[in-house]
Structure 1
């Protein structure tokens, strides 16, 4: 058990159970309907940096309470494709909500990677879920990078990648330039090198020919799929997830047929621009 998890229990009464060796913990001892005090907020932030995604069970929170919880970690960000009618920054995540957009829910991705300053993270709540299926998987971007074969690591180490969201932005009336970010970014708070390619937004490498870019992406995708890097969360009613978007990727498993699965997401904004820190060897 890590020092962070032990310290949380001793100082705040919160509990944290790791769900895999490097990523994901289920947190207890907190009622998200109530405001967090500073010690709780600081403890959750420290645990989030260590574990990358946190899960909370039996949290019957309203949209206002979801927004308030997210605001503990930064300013909420309203996605340009829209939110629910009463809460612009609460975004429904469902097949129906995205029927007019080129959204590939079932690809490994990271949120708002098309922005100059992508989001810090998100709070996702289960609203209408199937009895079985519809899990979400998170991948540890640091573990993915460390696990790359040497030749792949050398091939991707210095590359920048473009994530193309232009079609969806155009449909929503938003204008935003194409930007390129390091394919391996350095986490601004932990210093960890993170594999950070959004496979849902037509990624392509800068300075590589299209065929070479596609071939390299295919090999990298095989590395991302390794279950050793993952934590899988089975949703139940009133389950909530908080994750660090800068620390890896996630994948919504679409194995529930025509069931009208609905989640609601609140994005947490950031001023951080992805970068790669070079260290002396």
Structure 2
């Protein structure tokens, strides 16, 4: 953590405990049920840019308060697959939604990567969680990229990847074109180069045949899996996570059997359209 970021947090009464040297921090000293002052909002934004995902404990907040907190950081995005019965912008993330997936598949992903302008971030609230299990892991996209061998960095620097969400969109009655993003995106606020592949949406690399694309993505996945790049969060009742969707990937661990785990997520809309394409060196 930079000294300036730590000093700003301390000035407004926030305390910060790191989960990993480059990603993940638990923040105390703020009540998310209350409106944020400008100084607290700016301190939290600085911490988010530095640590990529922030965690808050003992936050007994309502849906309205979750939405109000997210609105401090931008307009909200209503996911096309639907919201809760009371809030269109709150998306239930329920265990039953994952029953169709093979547990052996990779679900390292980033939200709404199928869009031209993917979401800036998300606020996730634990609603019904098991006593043990159901953790979420975040991976630092900048650290993943830095950890690649130089020849592999050079191999992917000018490549684009398509994330295919077409089946789910069609089921929701939505028409949207296939979009290609750089495998390595430049973060629009920090300038950091970020590895950015959504492994849950049938990724394929533009310009490569199927076998070559799969082989290259598999080689890259070896770096994604390295625990040195990860922050693992154990959920408790009234826990909240707030992450920068532009900064990496995350993974919901499904190790809780038939427990009806439920989370509720609010997406903050993206505003980085001019920065989608990495500038050439």
- Cα distance in 1, alignment partners of residues 103 and 225 from structure 2: 20
Within a 5 Å distance, the mapping from 1:1-281 to structure 2 comes to 1-97=1-97, 107-273=107-273, 274-279=276-281
Unaligned runs of 5+ in 1: none
**Distance apart, 1:96 and its partner CA:** 2.4
* Greater CA drift, 196-205 or 268-277: 268-277
- Cα distance in 2, alignment partners of residues 98 and 205 from structure 1: 26
Unaligned runs of 5+ in 2: none
SS at match of 2:96: coil
Aligned partners of 2:9 and 2:44 also within 8 Å: no
* Greater CA drift, 11-20 or 225-234: 11-20
SS at match of 2:145: helix
**Distance apart, 1:277 and its partner CA:** 2.4
Aligned partners of 1:105 and 1:252 also within 8 Å: no
SS at match of 1:96: helix
Aligned length: 279
- Cα distance in 2, alignment partners of residues 96 and 105 from structure 1: 17
- Cα distance in 2, alignment partners of residues 34 and 110 from structure 1: 29
SS at match of 2:95: coil
- Cα distance in 1, alignment partners of residues 103 and 77 from structure 2: 19
- Cα distance in 1, alignment partners of residues 25 and 55 from structure 2: 6
Q: CA RMSD in A?
A: 1.8
**Distance apart, 1:110 and its partner CA:** 0.1
Residue-by-residue CA offset, 1:236-277 (whole Å, 9 max, x unaligned): 000000000000000000111111110000000013232212
